[in-house]
Chains A and B, each alone.
Chain A
């Protein structure tokens, strides 16, 4: 085991971590806003990858150019989810909220399986291909650009939430729904915006990953699990916490896979989750 392999693993882990961070940020935004964990997050990621794939396969649009369309589609999907499902369960017990989004995840996944069969697909010859060689470390170009785009999108989201007026309104709603309503911020509209942005983040991540990742109906499960862990790790509702948590998970996954055994990646992440929850239950940057 040479140092090059370890550096390689660190770089790979970092690149994956940035993608996890963006997926988790969407989840965290939704949770912070209405305290609902979207258990269908992985399925929304799957939808975004499929949207990218179908735009490529039917219209010949490269995943790189179809990203705006994917984002819009996913944002629309978020608004629909809010309008038809979440709106009704806002005041329900937590148990019902979890069951409802879990039901949504089963529903989306099995519809996708029925429509598109569980085959593995991938985008042939995308614009982003090949690899860069720095010293003895190989970096896949699609992976590199995906993580960079995710990083940019992450900071875009952070800027939006902390600096713009709509973002501040979102934060106000997250802190106290009723007080915000008194000040003239319509909470229902804010929730819809939150869902649109949260799933828009997933759209960016899924659209970029469509460049190099296999696309199949169960693809979302692992990513969603890591996103859940990242959200708990960063602290429920904290967006910047997701960045650190995502990177930690990416590194743990790739270094654990390299140093111990790649087939137990999930267990290392799970171990991290247990450790954090035992020693710092509010997460690294949590409000609660």
Chain B
């Protein structure tokens, strides 16, 4: 680990595998240019959902992939983010751009409160606790009159498009760019994190807690740090989602399906890998959107059946996710030269 760390530190950050770098740069430019070609609103919606789910999965990847702790209630932070922006906009007229940070702050506090008792213990305790937390949040918000109880919050609509209120009614293009920018920022930051000292320590904690402890890494503190980072990535997505659909209720934003899908996307794409969530999201989100079109409304949870099946098959045959099909030397920088 140490030699790799020295290696990572000695090199400038942009000195990445050149081919990969140019592909990524090309893709980013393409994504920025896409709406200019006049996509219809369904495709815009599809891309927005892919960006959103990729970031949500990345958030789960930070806690589960990097530090090895499984959270089964990540929807809680999504909901906190959603309620934070909607509530403060409706009650006090605070712009969502500020309350996004408030949502992140509250999520971080909850992550610390949950993390301190739970992350000292082995993984099963944490997984069970987070499962309980996810459902507790839904129960509490369903009964909490201040935030509209079970009927939720209906965000007051501005008469026309407004960047202040982050509401756009005439077109989805602004939403596309907002989500795209958040997506790129998050992935860049997580990529930096994965290469940083912190990232290496988190992986050490995941792979062998006792060895990490013997190297003076405070295991439980690092787990809590990872959980807080993870929560702070999740909350803005909840906020943006609330601004996107403008009606939130506990059943929608605290749904256990959110916790399921982030897990599924990450495991499908490749857990513990920065690029895994992109792969997972760009495969799974189209499946789910198209199955909603063709199979939706039947009441049968057909897409969930596939989710469960995919999850089991991936776990049995490809525990490292689809990204393990891609040769390693393309993904990582060339080590010897």
A274 and B256 alpha carbons, distance in the complex (Å) = 21
Is A171 at the interface (CB under 8 A from chain B)? Answer: no
A49 and B166 alpha carbons, distance in the complex (Å) = 48
Contact indicator B120/A105 (Cβ below 8 Å): no
Which of under 10, 10 to 19, 20 to 34, or 35 or more describes the interface residues of A?
35 or more
Give chain B's interface secondary structure class.
helix
Which among B121, B136, B307 is the interface contact of A277 at CB below 8 angstroms? B121
Contact indicator B316/A88 (Cβ below 8 Å): yes
Contact indicator B125/A114 (Cβ below 8 Å): no
Least CB separation from B307: chain A residue: A106
Contact indicator B132/A111 (Cβ below 8 Å): no
Contact indicator B70/A98 (Cβ below 8 Å): yes
Which among B64, B128, B305 is the interface contact of A95 at CB below 8 angstroms? B64
Min CB distance A261 to B, Å, is 8
Contact indicator B143/A264 (Cβ below 8 Å): yes
Contact indicator B263/A111 (Cβ below 8 Å): no
Interface with B: A67-75, A120-128, A265-273, which one?
A265-273
Interface with A: B9-17, B37-45, B294-302, which one?
B294-302
Contact indicator B315/A96 (Cβ below 8 Å): yes
Is A167 at the interface (CB under 8 A from chain B)? Answer: no
Least CB separation from B259: chain A residue: A102
Chain A positions within 8 Å of B124 at CB level: 31, 37, 94, 98, 232, 236
Contact indicator A89/B263 (Cβ below 8 Å): no
Contact indicator B308/A107 (Cβ below 8 Å): yes
Is B189 at the interface (CB under 8 A from chain A)? Answer: no
A273 and B133 alpha carbons, distance in the complex (Å) = 11
Least CB separation from B72: chain A residue: A102
Chain A positions within 8 Å of B122 at CB level: 288
A283 and B125 alpha carbons, distance in the complex (Å) = 11
Contact indicator A100/B260 (Cβ below 8 Å): no
Interface centre among B263, B305, B309, B312 (most CB of A within 10 A): B312
- Which residues A234-283 have CB closer than 8 A to chain B? 236, 263-264, 266-267, 269-270, 273-274, 277-278, 281
Contact indicator B304/A109 (Cβ below 8 Å): yes
Is A130 at the interface (CB under 8 A from chain B)? Answer: no
Answer whether A278 and B271 are a contact pair too, CB < 8 Å, given A99-B263, A264-B139.
Answer: no
Contact indicator B136/A102 (Cβ below 8 Å): no
Chain A positions within 8 Å of B300 at CB level: 110, 113-114, 117
A147 and B300 alpha carbons, distance in the complex (Å) = 34
- Which residues B272-314 have CB closer than 8 A to chain A? 299-302, 304-305, 307-312
Contact indicator B315/A229 (Cβ below 8 Å): no
Chain A positions within 8 Å of B108 at CB level: none
Least CB separation from B271: chain A residue: A95
Is B93 at the interface (CB under 8 A from chain A)? Answer: no
Is B118 at the interface (CB under 8 A from chain A)? Answer: yes
Is A85 at the interface (CB under 8 A from chain B)? Answer: yes
Contact indicator A229/B299 (Cβ below 8 Å): no
Q: What string of 1s and 0s marks CB contacts (under 8 Å) between A78-100 and chain B?
A: 00000001001100111111111
Min CB distance A92 to B, Å, is 6
Q: What string of 1s and 0s marks CB contacts (under 8 Å) between A133-170 and chain B?
A: 00000000000000000000000000000000000000
Size of the chain B interface, CB-CB below 8 angstroms: 43
Is A225 at the interface (CB under 8 A from chain B)? Answer: yes
Least CB separation from B309: chain A residue: A107
Chain A positions within 8 Å of B302 at CB level: 110, 114
Interface centre among B271, B300, B315 (most CB of A within 10 A): B315
Least CB separation from A97: chain B residue: B315
Min CB distance A217 to B, Å, is 9
A176 and B218 alpha carbons, distance in the complex (Å) = 30
Is B140 at the interface (CB under 8 A from chain A)? Answer: yes
Contact indicator B308/A228 (Cβ below 8 Å): no
Answer whether A267 and B139 are a contact pair too, CB < 8 Å, given A96-B319, A113-B300, A228-B128.
Answer: yes
Answer whether A232 and B304 are a contact pair too, CB < 8 Å, given A267-B136, A277-B121.
Answer: no
Contact indicator A267/B140 (Cβ below 8 Å): yes
Is B68 at the interface (CB under 8 A from chain A)? Answer: yes
Contact indicator A114/B315 (Cβ below 8 Å): no
Q: What string of 1s and 0s marks CB contacts (under 8 Å) between A164-198 and chain B?
A: 00000000000000000000000000000000000
Is B217 at the interface (CB under 8 A from chain A)? Answer: no
Contact indicator A100/B316 (Cβ below 8 Å): yes
Least CB separation from B127: chain A residue: A98
Min CB distance A62 to B, Å, is 30
Contacts A99-B70, A273-B132 aside, 4 further interface pairs with beta carbons under 8 A come to A103-B312, A110-B300, A228-B128, A264-B139
Q: 28 A-B contacts, Cβ less than 8 Å apart?
A: A37-B124, A39-B72, A88-B315, A92-B315, A92-B319, A93-B319, A95-B123, A96-B319, A97-B315, A98-B70, A100-B312, A100-B315, A103-B264, A103-B309, A103-B310, A106-B308, A107-B309, A109-B304, A109-B308, A113-B299, A113-B300, A232-B124, A232-B128, A267-B139, A273-B132, A277-B118, A277-B121, A278-B117
